[in-house]
A and B are shown apart, each in its own frame.
Chain A
Amino acid sequence: MSYNYPDLSGHFGQFGGTYMAETLIPAVEELAAQYAHYQHDAEFKAELAYELKHYVGRPSPIYHAKRLSQHLGGAQIYLKREDLNHTGAHKINSAMGQALLAKRMGKKRVIAETGAGMHGVATATVAARFGMECIVYMGAEDIHRQAQNVFRMKLLGATVVPVESGSKTLKDACNEAIRDWVTNVESTFYIFGTAAGPHPYPMMVRDFQSIVGTEAKIQMPEMVGRQPDILLACVGGGSNAIGLFYPYIDVPNVRMIGVEAGGYGIASGKHAAPLTANAKVGVLHGNKVNLMQDENGQIIETHSISAGLDYPGVGPEHCLLKDIGRAEYVAINDDEAIAAFDALCRFEGIIPALESSHALAHAMKIAPTMSKDKVLLVNLSGRGDKDMQTVAKVKGITL
C-alpha cells in the first residue's frame, strides 16, 4: 500500500498537524496514545462491533434507487443507507467509537460541537447509553434552524449550550467546545464530530467511519458483481466522505467525488466549499487545511442551506486527496440540493438530510451523462426529518 497517511505526527502531507494551545497538547497526546493502543485491542474491537450491530443497527443496507435512475436515464444510482442507523445519520459510527474510548480513559463527562445537530444527537445518545454527562455546543443560528434536534438532545439528557459569538454556527460551536475542553481537560472527553481537528481526530474519526466503505466494498460485489465506478459523498468536515472513500483509496478505477456546499454559488462568495473554491491553506481548530479566509487571515462567514455543511474548513485528508488527485471535489448549490431532496422523496420514498442531498444532487447531474451500466454509489449520510422546518421555509410554507 503506497498511501499511508497520516505520519506519526498527524500530518497528511502539508495538511493536518496539532495546532493547539499548550494546555490541550498533553490531552491530545494522551488521546493519540490511548487510541493507538485500543485500536488494536481485541476486547475494544469486539465491544465496538457488538454496539454497531445491536445498537446502531449495522450493517446499513445498500439500496438501488431504480426509479430515480430510470427517470434520469443514465448511470444506476445506489445509496449507502446511513440514514437508517440509530439516530439517523453516520455520526453515531464515530460517536460510539469515541464513547467507548472515553469509557476506557475513565472520562465521565463528554462534550461535542454540532451544526445540524446530528452529531449532537449521536453524542447525547451514546452518553445516555453509557451514563456520561453530556454538554453540546451549538451555534444560536443552528439552534434556530434545527430546533427538533435540540429537543432530541435534551430528551436524551444532554445540556445544549447556545453559542452567540461570531457567525453563531458550527465553527463558533467548535471554538466554544475547545474553550470548555481547555477548562475541564482532566475530566472531559471531546467527542469530535468530523474528520478534522488536531491529531489524532482526523485519523481516528476516519477509522471509525471507515465501516461505511468497508461494508460497501463487500455489499457492492454481492449486488452488482463489482465495485462502483464512482463514489459520491457530501463534505462538511468530511467524515462521511472519508468513511466511504478510505477503504477504496487503493482500489483502482474507482473515482471519488466529494460534494461541498455551493450555497448561493461559488461566484457569490456565499458558500462553504473551500476545496472547490481553492481556498488558501490556513490554520483553524487544530489543523492546517484549505480554509475560507480573507486576505488578512480572518475566517470568513460561510453560507449553506444545510447546517451540517456550513463550515469554512475541511478535514486535512480531503485536502491531501485533492492535492494528489485521488479524489475530486465539486460544489452543489442550495437550490440544486433542494431539487435532489424533492426527487428522492418522490421517486424513492426516502427523505434525505439536506447534507446528503448535496451528494445526491451531483450524482443526478452526472448520471444522465453516463451509460446505463455504470454504477454510482452515494453515501446517504442521514435522514431529513430534522430539515422539515428549513425545507418548508424554502417552499414558503409555515408548519
Chain B
Amino acid sequence: MNRIDIRFASLKQQNRKALIPFITAGDPSREMTVPLLHALVAAGADVLELGVPFSDPMADGPTIQRASERALKLGVSLRSVLDMVAEFRKQDTTTPVVLMGYGNPIEAMGWAAFAQRAALVGVDGVLTVDFPPEESHDAFEHLQRHNIAPIFLLAPTTKESRIAQVAKLARGYVYYVSLKGVTGSGSIDLSAIEEKMPQLRKHIKLPIGVGFGIRDASTAKAVAALCDGVVVGSRIVQEIEDSNAQNVLENVGRLVKELSVAIR
C-alpha cells in the first residue's frame, strides 16, 4: 500500500469521493508552491497532482502552457520539483502526491535515479502523459521497485482491449480523460462519461478519477456522482494566474473549498 491506496480506502469507508486538484510546480513562483499545496489540502484536497513544467506541453491547453512557461522562466526543473515535495512532506506525511508531466525530463534524469529520489522525498504516483504502457516497461520497473504508482490515462477513444491491458499495469488510480482535447478545453459530456463507466469498471478495479473540462462546483458534483475522484486543473491554474502574491492562497483556497464541498 502507498499513500494513494490508503487515501482511497479511507474515502471509500466514508463513502466519499476524492478531490484531486492540479497545480504546476513553480507557478507563480518557487516559494509559493509548497504553501499552495498546503492550502489545497486545507481546503479539502484528497490527492495532489503536481505538474512538472516542460518546454513542449503537447497535451495542454493555453492555461497550463502559460503556467509551464512561467515556471521554466524561473528555472524550475524536475530536481527542484522533487525538492518542493521534500519540503511539503516536512509538514504533511499523509496526503498523496502525484507528479504529472511529460517523459523527457525524467528520461534526462534517468528513471533509476528519478525513482529513487522521488520515493525518498515522498512522491506516491507518476503520470507521464506521453508514455503509454507500450513504452513504459523500463519506467515501470523502477517505479514499482520504489513503490511508486504508475498512473495511466484512458480516453474516450480507448478501446476495450486496451482498457484491459492498462488495468493490468496501473496502480493507485486510473485517470479518465473526459473529453477529446487538451487540458482546459471544451466542456464535459456527462452522458458520455456515464456510458463509458461500466466498460471501465469491468476491467479496472482501482479507483477511477475523471478530469479535463471540469471548471465549476456543479460540474464537479455531477462528475463525482459517476466515479471515484474528480481532477480539476486548468480552472485552478487560471485562478493562480489571475491572483497576486498577496491573495493567491486565499483565492485558490476558496475555489477548492467550493469544489470539495460540492462533491461531498
Q: Report which A residues bind B (CB closer than 8 A).
A: 9, 17-27, 165-166, 171-172, 175, 178-179, 182-186, 280-286, 288, 291, 293, 295-300
Contact = CB atoms under 8 A, between A and B. Distances in A.
Given A19-B130, A296-B77, A299-B56, 18 more contacts: A19-B103, A19-B131, A19-B132, A21-B59, A22-B158, A23-B153, A25-B157, A26-B157, A26-B162, A179-B58, A179-B181, A283-B102, A283-B131, A284-B104, A288-B135, A297-B54, A297-B104, A299-B104
11 contacts: A9-B134, A17-B135, A18-B132, A23-B180, A25-B158, A25-B162, A182-B59, A185-B157, A283-B107, A284-B104, A300-B55
A183 B107 contact: no
Contacts of B79: 296
Contacts of A280: 108
Instruction: Tell me which of B58, B107, B134 has the highest count of chain A C-beta atoms within 10 A of its own C-beta.
Output: B58
A179 B182 contact: yes
B169 interface: no
Given A19-B103, A296-B79, A182 B181 contact: yes
5 closest cross-chain pairs (CB), A and B: A297-B108, A297-B105, A296-B77, A23-B155, A183-B181
A299 B58 CA distance: 13
Contacts of B72: 298
A233 to B, nearest CB: 26
B104 A282 contact: yes
A296 B105 CA distance: 6
Interface of B: 54-59, 61, 65, 69, 72, 77-79, 102-109, 129-132, 134-135, 152-159, 162, 177, 180-182, 185-186
Majority-rule SS of B interface residues: loop
A33 to B, nearest CB: 12
A166 B55 contact: yes
Instruction: Tell me which of B109, B131, B152 has the highest count of chain A C-beta atoms within 10 A of its own C-beta.
Output: B131
B59 A297 contact: no
Given A21-B59, A22-B153, A178-B58, A183 B130 contact: no
A171 B54 CA distance: 13
Contact of B156 (A23, A166, A184, A299): A23
Contact of A296 (B78, B129, B135, B153): B78
Given A182-B59, A297-B106, A298-B54, A27 B78 contact: no
Contacts of B159: 26
Contacts of A178: 58
Contacts of A9: 134
A298 B158 contact: no
A9 B132 CA distance: 13
